[in-house]
Amino acid sequence: MIIVPEREIANLMTREAAFVAVEQVFAAMAAQDAYNFPVIREAIGHEDALYGFKGGFDRAGKTLGLKAGGYWPNNLDKHQIINHQSTVFLFDPDTGKAKAMVGGNLLTALRTAAASSVSIKHLARKDARVIGMIGAGHQATFQLRAALEQRQFEKVIGWNFHPEMLPNLEKVADEAGLPFQAVDLNGLRDADVLISITSSFEAILQADQVSPGTHIACMGTDTKGKQEVDPALLTRATVFSDEVAQSISIGEAQHAIAMELITEHDITQIGAVINGTHPGRTSDDQITLFDGTGVGLQDLAVAASVVDLAVANGVAIEVDF
Ligand code: NAD
């Protein structure tokens, strides 16, 4: 069995490798070569922790396994380690034998950033020049950095519930040599591409605050009850997701579905666009919305990729198991 510890991930995994892994697995899901197992998430009644498993099988990529982990809110104060903790376990699909154990913390951030980037590649207008961010926390910086690689962006604009966090976005824009402007929610109408990545439980962005032709990736809503945008936006937009089942239950679409504004048949798996079986964006004034809920197969795909990189670079730890 191969072990790739968390400390090695930053040296091995690149945004490009994460992008390729996630794009391939989204394509495999739409081709029905890969599927996610039902998600388990439990409040374990200890340390206020939420613990769970996300798993799946990708027949095309021969990747079988799960990500185990969750959220320990007291970690930082009590143990000086981050509150989100996860580990990916991979198994040989031919034998069931354990194949690899991989640190999952940085990989989660990279695979989430790759998902909105894949959506921008396939759904945003080619002439998109202004990118708008809603959210300025840990994950927002990953989303922005990866997104900037997808189009010739000339400006970053951003809004956050806690404005004092906006310098996090400005720093990423600076690194890319782009100007940053803090805006109010109406100011987000200037964006050609929007990414929302907050832990909000109510709609932040209203349907009329999005201009025709915009692509929006809604990435923060990954649990029942969370919400980032006005459900009416999903009726104005053509809606795509990583996985329809998650989108309607724990994703941004859960609210428009509950209000009967759309049905699950109005949502297309992004993999269908990647595979060319769905046209994706068909006009310059269409709004496209990607509901990125985060699927287990994304975690397995980036973990498998980093195992290959660890072996190639001679840093994989091999143990008899
Ligand atoms: P973080 O704690 O670093 O940042 C939280 C962000 O949400 C900040 O911008 C904060 O200002 C904002 N926020 C907090 N309370 C708010 C409120 N009441 N209204 C509006 N905004 C509010 O967290 P993070 O690591 O950046 O994660 C952000 C979100 O992304 C979380 O909800 C997390 O669960 C989700 N997430 C999704 C995926 C996925 O695959 N879709 C993966 C990882 C994280």
Q: Where are the domains of the chain?
A: 2-108+297-318, 125-293
Six-digit token string for 306: 């980093």
- Measured from the Cα of 223, ligand 1's closest atom is 34
- How many helical (H) and strand (E) elements, i.e. helices and strands, does the chain have? 11, 18
The mean pLDDT of 78-94, rounded to a whole number, is 96
CA distances from 28 to 50, 272, 298 (A): 30, 9, 11
CA of 135 to the centre of ligand 1 (A): 7
User: Ligand 1 within 6 A of 118 CB?
Assistant: no
Mean pLDDT score across all residues of the chain = 97
Terminal-to-terminal C-alpha distance of the chain: 6
Q: What is the pLDDT of residues 244-263, one digit of tens each?
A: 999 999 999 999 999 999 99
CA of 91 to the centre of ligand 1 (A): 31
Q: What is the pLDDT of residues 193-211, one digit of tens each?
A: 999 999 999 999 999 999 9
**Would you place residue 297 in the very low, low, confident or very high pLDDT band (cuts 50, 70, 90)?**
very high
User: Ligand 1 within 6 A of 294 CB?
Assistant: yes
Alpha-carbon dihedral 9, 274, 285, 265, rounded to 10 degrees: -110
CA of 67 to the centre of ligand 1 (A): 20
Please report the DSSP string for 64-123 in residue order.
EEEEEEEE-TTHHHHHSS-SEEEEEEEE-TTT--EEEEEE-HHHHHHHHHHHHHHHHHHH
Residue 72: count of CB within 10 angstroms of its CB: 21
User: Ligand 1 within 6 A of 200 CB?
Assistant: yes
Six-digit token string for 68: 């185990």
**Would you place residue 116 in the very low, low, confident or very high pLDDT band (cuts 50, 70, 90)?**
very high
Q: Tell me what pLDDT residue 109 has.
A: 97
User: Does 67 qualify as catalytic in the annotation?
Assistant: yes
Using an 8 Å Cβ cutoff, are 234 and 262 in contact? yes
Q: Tell me what pLDDT residue 47 has.
A: 97
Q: Tell me what pLDDT residue 197 has.
A: 98
For the question of whether the overall pTM of this predicted structure is more than 0.90, the answer is yes
Six-digit token string for 169: 């976005």
**Would you place residue 157 in the very low, low, confident or very high pLDDT band (cuts 50, 70, 90)?**
very high
The mean pLDDT of 37-60, rounded to a whole number, is 95
Q: Determine whether domain 125-293 maps to CATH 3.30.1490.20.
A: no
Q: Tell me what pLDDT residue 168 has.
A: 98
Q: Tell me what pLDDT residue 166 has.
A: 98
User: Ligand 1 within 6 A of 55 CB?
Assistant: no
CA of 74 to the centre of ligand 1 (A): 17
Q: Tell me what pLDDT residue 183 has.
A: 98
Q: Give dist(CA 231, CA 256) in Å, integer.
A: 5
Q: Tell me what pLDDT residue 196 has.
A: 98
Q: What is the ipTM of this complex?
A: 0.99
- Measured from the Cα of 219, ligand 1's closest atom is 41
Class of domain 2-108+297-318: alpha beta
The mean pLDDT of 3-19, rounded to a whole number, is 97
The mean pLDDT of 6-14, rounded to a whole number, is 96
**Would you place residue 2 in the very low, low, confident or very high pLDDT band (cuts 50, 70, 90)?**
very high
